[in-house]
């Protein structure tokens, strides 16, 4: 489709493999497994478009500036976080697939250490979720990813990870970047 050789042709620069992690799924991939695009469409349709239509005070990192510069009371700043990227920055290791509860449960000690390093104190509910591997249901992986994303955000806000965006006008205006990512794509 679209004259591309494969799904990799849909990848943005930040989606490509780096020395630190494998390639992420292309944002516009909507078929089969690992279909990031369907989640993106759902977020745009069900949350972003209605918010914009009501004039919600939203800002978009990195398109409108650095993260700290965009923060203001009463304003939401949207940024993309890649859970696999966040895990590596936080020092969290999985013994298997994050889709498997036991792998998420086994990552609990690393997750608690990352939270302690960031000064994040878990509520009783979050502590239980970590202990239980975020549940046995299908959305356990989503809950796990959400916590990784939040911890990545805290790390950038507290200066433990840089608010980095490549000095490339195409990336800054059109493609965007992944919050906390500093590694550039590996050469082909």
pLDDT tens profile 27-65: 877 877 667 788 889 999 999 999 999 999 999 999 999
pLDDT computed for residue 1 by the predictor = 55
pLDDT tens profile 118-170: 999 999 999 999 999 999 999 999 999 999 999 999 999 999 999 999 999 99
pLDDT computed for residue 37 by the predictor = 82
pLDDT computed for residue 38 by the predictor = 84
- Indicate whether this model's pTM tops 0.85: yes
Distance CA 180, CA 178 (A): 6
Average pLDDT over residues 95-123: 97
10 Å CB burial of residue 59 (0-12, 13-18, 19+) is middle
| DSSP assignment of the chain | -TT-SSGGGG--GGGS-BSSSPPPPPTT--SSSS-HHHHHHHHIIIIIHHHHHTT--EEETTTTS-HHHH--TT-EEE----HHHHHHHHT---SS-TTSHHHHHHTHHHHHHHHHHHTPPPPHHHHHHHHTTT-SSTTHHHHHHHHHHHHHHHHHHTTSS-----S-HHIIIII---TT--PPBPP-
- When comparing pLDDT for 97 and 29, which is higher? 97
With pLDDT > 70 as the criterion, what percentage of the chain qualifies?
98
- Give 8's pLDDT tier (boundaries 50, 70, 90): confident
pLDDT at 2 over 90: no
- Ranges 26-30, 95-99, 114-118: which has the least confidence: 26-30
pLDDT averaged over every residue in the chain: 93
pLDDT computed for residue 188 by the predictor = 66
């Amino acid at each position: 489709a679209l004259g591309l050789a494969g799904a990799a042709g849909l990848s943005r620069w930040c989606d490509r493999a780096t020395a630190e992690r494998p390639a992420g799924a292309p944002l516009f991939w909507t078929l089969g497994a690992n279909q990031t695009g369907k989640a993106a469409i759902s977020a745009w349709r069900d949350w972003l478009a209605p918010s914009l239509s009501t004039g919600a005070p939203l800002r978009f990192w990195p398109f409108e500036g650095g993260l700290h510069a965009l923060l203001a009371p009463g304003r939401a700043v949207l940024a993309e976080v890649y859970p696999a990227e966040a895990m590596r920055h936080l020092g969290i290791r999985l013994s298997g697939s994050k889709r498997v509860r036991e792998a998420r449960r086994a990552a609990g000690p690393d997750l608690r250490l990352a939270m302690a390093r960031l000064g994040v104190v878990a509520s009783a509910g979050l502590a239980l979720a970590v202990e239980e591997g975020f549940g046995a249901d299908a959305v356990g992986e989503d809950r796990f990813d959400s916590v990784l994303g939040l911890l990545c955000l805290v790390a950038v806000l507290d200066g433990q990870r840089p608010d980095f965006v490549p000095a490339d006008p195409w990336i800054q205006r059109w493609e965007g970047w992944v919050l906390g990512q500093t590694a550039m794509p590996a050469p082909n």
